[in-house]
Structure 1
Amino acid sequence: MGFTEQNLGNQSGKTFAITGANTGLGFQTARALAMKGGRVILMCRSEALARGAMDAIRKHAPTADLKFVALDLADLDSVAAAADVLSREPKIDVLINNAGLMVPPLQRTRQGFESQMGVNHFGHFALTGRLLPKLMADGTRIVVLSSNAHKMGFINFEDINAHTHYDAFKQYGSSKLANLVFSLDLNARLATLDTKAICVAAHPGLADTELSRYLPKWVRIFLPVLRPLVNSAASGAWPTLLAATDERARGGEYYGPSRRGESAGPATRAHIDQRAKNPDVAKRLWDLSIEMTKVKPLL
């Protein structure tokens, strides 16, 4: 039948760290987990927005155990600082790499990466890499959000930061393909070691979130008409919740909506395009990510 928030069990005693938790899918994931007793660390750029999200969550869960950690994935110095804070947590049960950008005009991170690849992939690679000793020791479940757009992605290693040419939609697909390649590769590497840590991937399908703010104006005009056919932010979070909590979820698997070509509906196993399973691409992306971020995971 598929997984929905109604299938979410008691999460008391567990700590969840979520990037981009103040809005959209991240907020709905944080809210659902807090309502089930989980301790939630909201990792966000803006403390004010994070505090607003925490107040909103407490309207549903008045005694929620919530914490803010400053994180700007577009700045590797901020990533390092956030990883340092998280490393002092008693235990992290689940790290959810949720935050992302979709089809903005050409922008660059503080270190000069194209913003979509920089935030969606390089920032999360650096955060996860810096935390790996702790994540492996804690037996953490690492969740990486990808997208159906990975099926249209192609990682142009010769111009990964779009210095020669920038196509916002193609770059988004590339960054989401990088997310899925990284997730599968990370899980395979973890499987060779003495750790219970695993990596699981998920995607929200078509979800009504703030990510749509950069879509062309004519698309945004039609969004109210399309709303009944797509996931709300709350239902778009179902695959993330499945990947993060369900005991049947396995490392190296991918979860998404079950209906209308994985665009909406309850969460279930999702299709992984063959381009995400290429070991040569995985190794090249891993090595390039180390070169770009100067973070070398202990794997």
Structure 2
Amino acid sequence: MAILSNILSVAVTFFAIFHAAPRLSPNVPIVPPPLKSLEGQTIVVTGGTSGVGREAAIELASRGAEIYITGRSKSRADKVVMHLPIFSTTTPHHGLQLDLTDPESISTFTSTMKKLPKLDVLVLNAGMMYGPDFTGPFQTSNFPGGTVDTMIASNHLGSFNVLHDLLSTLETHGTRVVFVSSISHHLGTPDLLASTADPLLATEGSSLSPSQSVGAFALYGNTKLFNVLTANKLSRLLPSNPVTVVTPGFCATTIGSTDRSPGLFNPLEYVPLTFSAKQGGDLLVAATQIEPVFGKMLQPYWIWESVPLLKGRAKGFFFNIIQEMFFQKLVPSGMYLHSQSEAGLDVELQDQAWEWSKGMIGAE
């Protein structure tokens, strides 16, 4: 009974803190502008065949935008496109194949993008995570500069390749770029560049030990830190282009699944602590219109930024495991601009990450 009483006391204390702290915080939710018609705009959403990307594409299409969505399978992208709302007969939508682990696929995709008469918004949403049991295959992806883990390729290097190929296009069109990162980027550390040289590469079909499973999750955080570093570097390179970083929160999507077909049974949909994919998608939509703030991340719930005594990965663990997975629905929802991690704001690290990524894709 004493143990149960102590557990209950801790739970009540946490609940009281997380109920009161947001209401005493100076960081209040922002009020996004009313969503307007997007007729005449061209918007690209990578990873638009499932999850928050698919939900964002549906909403953006319903407001009149011409949508390009990508998927690893063109047939799946085409099937999703068939169900996107058609605002007018003159606004078609398009499904494109894009495998972010394959430089040839990336080159084909960016060649298509360069031919567009305009590109208003690019939403870099595509990404992956190993399955919940962290069993393989842990594949590798070959780039001109060497071999990297598939998660690094999917979550960062492939999107960086897209960006780098399209730099002049983005600048010419004044394209707004939305990076979908994660609160997990707080788990990333400044030594991530060294860790990418040998990032838990395992042979196909193998599985990770428990300690490696923790390492795989840390690697996921590093890939999301790469997103933040790349976004901040892009803001410096193209200061006239709006660049926004978002984290959709803990959403009921099929990330971590081998099959992400729409309608696939997803147990996360029955976890009461998760946001819906639609809620995550709505945040991406808002990011296409809210004025970005450098060094901030748009997210759908309040976090306790100034939690005492926690720094580095310990702070990241608190944000990701405690706040996001257990308390995101117990604090006020809404749209908040929260600070990125110290590592993400490190200009020298931004430059190092950019140069490493350029070398990996074989860019001069």
Give me the TM-score of the superposition, normalised by structure 2: 0.71
More displaced, 276-285 or 266-275? Answer: 266-275
Match of 1:183 in 2: 231
Query: 1:180, 1:201 within 8 Å by CA — same for their partners in 2?
Result: yes
Match of 2:277 in 1: 233
Give the counterpart letter for 2:59 in structure 1.
A
- Residue of structure 1 aligned with 2:108, choices 81, 90, 104: 81
Q: Does 1:162 align with 2:198?
A: yes
CA offsets per residue over residues 212-247 of structure 1, 9 Å max, x none? 438xxxxx9974552x3221111012322122123x
Q: Alignment partner of 1:48: what SS?
A: helix
Partner Cα separation in structure 2 for residue 143 and residue 29 of structure 1: 12
More displaced, 109-118 or 200-209? Answer: 109-118
Taking a change above 3 Å as real, the CA distance of residues 52 and 276 of structure 1, as seen in their structure-2 partners, is same
Within a 5 Å distance, the mapping from 1:1-299 to structure 2 comes to 2=30, 7-58=34-85, 63=89, 65-104=92-131, 105=136, 106-111=138-143, 112-154=147-189, 155-163=191-199, 167-191=215-239, 196-213=240-257, 223=268, 225-226=270-271, 228-246=272-290, 248-250=291-293, 253-259=296-302, 261=323, 263=328, 265-296=333-364
Partner Cα separation in structure 2 for residue 86 and residue 180 of structure 1: 23
CA offsets per residue over residues 159-203 of structure 1, 9 Å max, x none? 305356652201100000110111112102212xxxx32321111
Q: Deviation at 1:99?
A: 0.1
Query: 1:238, 1:267 within 8 Å by CA — same for their partners in 2?
Result: no
Which runs of 5 or more structure 1 residues have no equivalent in the other structure?
A: 215-219
Partner Cα separation in structure 2 for residue 33 and residue 164 of structure 1: 38
Query: 2:253, 2:266 within 8 Å by CA — same for their partners in 1?
Result: no
Partner Cα separation in structure 2 for residue 20 and residue 221 of structure 1: 18
Q: Deviation at 1:268?
A: 2.5
Partner Cα separation in structure 2 for residue 108 and residue 55 of structure 1: 33
More displaced, 287-296 or 104-113? Answer: 104-113
Q: Alignment partner of 1:208: what SS?
A: coil
Q: Deviation at 1:125?
A: 0.6
Give the counterpart letter for 1:143 in structure 2.
V
Q: Deviation at 1:85?
A: 0.5
Q: Alignment partner of 2:158: what SS?
A: helix
Give the counterpart letter for 1:208 in structure 2.
A
Partner Cα separation in structure 1 for residue 44 and residue 62 of structure 2: 15
Q: Deviation at 1:251?
A: 5.2
| Bigger RCO (CA 8 Å, 6+ sep) | 2
The percent of aligned pairs where both chains have the same amino acid is 25
Partner Cα separation in structure 2 for residue 179 and residue 163 of structure 1: 17
Which runs of 5 or more structure 2 residues have no equivalent in the other structure?
A: 1-28, 202-211, 259-264, 304-322
Give the counterpart letter for 1:16 in structure 2.
I
Q: Deviation at 1:36?
A: 0.4
Partner Cα separation in structure 1 for residue 104 and residue 362 of structure 2: 11
Q: Alignment partner of 1:266: what SS?
A: strand
Greater share of residues in helix: 1
* Larger gyration radius, structure 1 or structure 2: 2
Give the counterpart letter for 2:84 in structure 1.
I
Q: Deviation at 1:62?
A: 7.7
Give the counterpart letter for 1:171 in structure 2.
L
Q: Alignment partner of 1:143: what SS?
A: strand
Q: Deviation at 1:102?
A: 1.4
Taking a change above 3 Å as real, the CA distance of residues 16 and 3 of structure 1, as seen in their structure-2 partners, is farther
Taking a change above 3 Å as real, the CA distance of residues 143 and 295 of structure 1, as seen in their structure-2 partners, is farther
Taking a change above 3 Å as real, the CA distance of residues 224 and 15 of structure 1, as seen in their structure-2 partners, is closer
RMSD: 2.5
